[in-house]
Amino acid sequence: MKILAIDDQKLVLIPLENRLKELGYEILTETNSLRGIELYESYHPDLVIIDINMPLVSGIEVVKHIRNIKKSDTAIMILSGNTGDDMITEGFNLGINDYLKKPLSLVEVCARVKRLIGVPETPNKVILPKDIIIQQRCVGVVIPCYNEEKRLLSKKFTDFIVKNSGYHLCFVNDGSKDKTLRVLKDLTKGRKDFITVYNCEKNGGKAEAVRQGMLYMAKQKGLDYIGFLDADLSTDLTDFDNLVSTIEKFNYKIVSGSRINRMGANISKDAARNIISLTFNFFIRKILKMSFKDTQCGAKVFSKDVIEISFGKKFITRWVFDVEIFRRITLHFGLRKAKQILCEQPLKRWIHANGSKLSIKDSIKIMGNLGKIAWFYRRQRSKPPVKLNSLKTGNSNILKSAINIRYFFY
């Protein structure tokens, strides 16, 4: 029994292909709908599984080719996130056999396949997890890593991508001096379709590691959204997936996690960091002219069309690059529009992880960096771009800019 599956997102096709092969079906997959039509002509499948929203030629056009041009009664199953009544009605009027809405369980897909074309006599013996979800969207996640050999929770990452189709993890090794690179390469074994390692030979800091990873992932095909997440999983992957659900359902360009203490949430910060965070946020709100409660949470999701705006140029700071991102967005879109496309979403869980690279001493330096950001991006509004090497970075100048309040009110 032969199946042809056509979907422009490879991350959706891989678990589908693996499960159907496990059940004993022969299956070919294709991400290009035009090539999918050519395969249909030569492969003569018993079932075609197809998505609706694809570039070049839509799934409905492929259905029309099979039913109206080829006059074929090949079984057709639509597997799509398009849940409009008009589209569903058109599909059944054209003679499709089933219409499934993403996201949904892979178990349900396979049960409906069996109903349409029967069960192979000789199933394979490979057993895959049964609770895999076929997602409507595909997401790239950048995870910066510096000396994470002993802290990296490898199994949590691998378990997540097994159960949640549509995720591709990009670990950025930021010039680690321990065996982090080896640990990351081990993670990719047998998972290269879902895990990538981007290696920076020299340590450039978290800001540059995230920037390089985001720009790299933006070039990859089939991803709807791209975000970044801390390697220690202080924000867990389930909460990150909730951020993705928000940007998917609403008209936001960026959704940022927020470590706000509230009823029903498990937010664990040590007292000293909490006080420092409150101080930072006061000045950050003055810089951005926005009421963000927590810009520095290391979990954010972006629509692909704002990646270049947010990450195209190098950041001028190593730690508070999140503030720079939001400042770039406000300069590009204007403050009013920026407030409409930025969303701050409270997390259900955030746990401070031991071994954090950010010390109290670094926190003091951050205050100077905030002054540096305010001064630099204020000049961006009315003057040609300032060369980074023209900025004074001496400790005395940084501290002066940090405490000079007039820089924050403009």
CATH of the domain at 47: 3.40.50.2300
pLDDT confidence band for 104 (50 / 70 / 90)? confident
Let me know whether 251 and 141 are in one domain: yes
In a domain, 407, yes or no: no
From CA 20, how far away is CA 118, in angstroms rounded? 12
Instruction: Please give the helix or strand (H or E) that residue 343 lies within, else none.
Output: strand 342-346
Let me know whether 57 and 163 are in one domain: no
pLDDT confidence band for 292 (50 / 70 / 90)? confident
Which is higher by pLDDT, 269 or 63?
A: 63
β-sheet with 167-174: strand ranges across: 195-200, 167-174, 139-145, 225-229, 299-303, 254-258, 342-346
Let me know whether 210 and 284 are in one domain: yes
Domain C-terminal end among 49, 83, 117:
117
The segment with the largest mean pLDDT, out of 74-88, 129-143, 299-313, is 299-313
In a domain, 375, yes or no: no
Let me know whether 324 and 277 are in one domain: yes
Q: Quote the pTM value.
A: 0.79
How large is the average pLDDT for residues 23-52? Answer: 95
Let me know whether 230 and 82 are in one domain: no
Q: Angle between the 271-288 and 360-382 helix axes, to the nearest 10 degrees?
A: 0
Q: How far is CA 86 from the centre of its chain?
A: 30
Retrieve residue 362's tokens: 């670094």
pLDDT given for residue 81 in this prediction = 85
Sign of CA dihedral 174, 177, 179, 182: positive
Let me know whether 10 and 60 are in one domain: yes
Let me know whether 84 and 185 are in one domain: no
How large is the average pLDDT for residues 123-150? Answer: 80
Domain C-terminal end among 357, 375, 401:
357
pLDDT given for residue 83 in this prediction = 76
Residue 109 identity (one-letter amino acid): V
How large is the average pLDDT for residues 25-35? Answer: 95
In a domain, 393, yes or no: no
pLDDT given for residue 375 in this prediction = 81
Q: Which residue range forms the structural domain that includes residue 85?
A: 2-117
How large is the average pLDDT for residues 125-136? Answer: 69
Q: Domains in the chain: how many in total?
A: 2
pLDDT given for residue 235 in this prediction = 85
From CA 182, how far away is CA 158, in angstroms rounded? 16
How large is the average pLDDT for residues 332-340? Answer: 92
Q: pLDDT tens digit string along 240-287? A: 999 999 999 898 999 999 877 554 454 555 555 555 555 566 666 666
In a domain, 234, yes or no: yes
Q: Are 377 and 321 in contact (CB under 8 A)?
A: no
In a domain, 335, yes or no: yes
Task: Give the range among 116-130, 181-195, 237-251 with minimum mean pLDDT.
Answer: 116-130
pLDDT given for residue 134 in this prediction = 83
Let me know whether 103 and 174 are in one domain: no
Per the prediction, the chain carries an average pLDDT of 83
Domain C-terminal end among 87, 117, 147:
117
Q: pLDDT tens digit string along 65-89? A: 999 999 999 999 999 888 788 999 9
In a domain, 22, yes or no: yes
Let me know whether 54 and 180 are in one domain: no
Retrieve residue 104's tokens: 């949904």
Per DSSP (E only), the strands in 146-216 are 167-174, 195-200
Let me know whether 215 and 167 are in one domain: yes
In a domain, 406, yes or no: no
Q: To 10 degrees, the CA torsion angle through 271, 276, 277, 283?
A: 160
Q: List Cα–Cα distances, 262 to 173, 348, 350, 373, in angstroms.
A: 34, 9, 12, 30
Let me know whether 94 and 145 are in one domain: no
Q: 1: closest CA among 19, 29, 24, 28?
A: 24
In a domain, 390, yes or no: no
Let me know whether 34 and 149 are in one domain: no
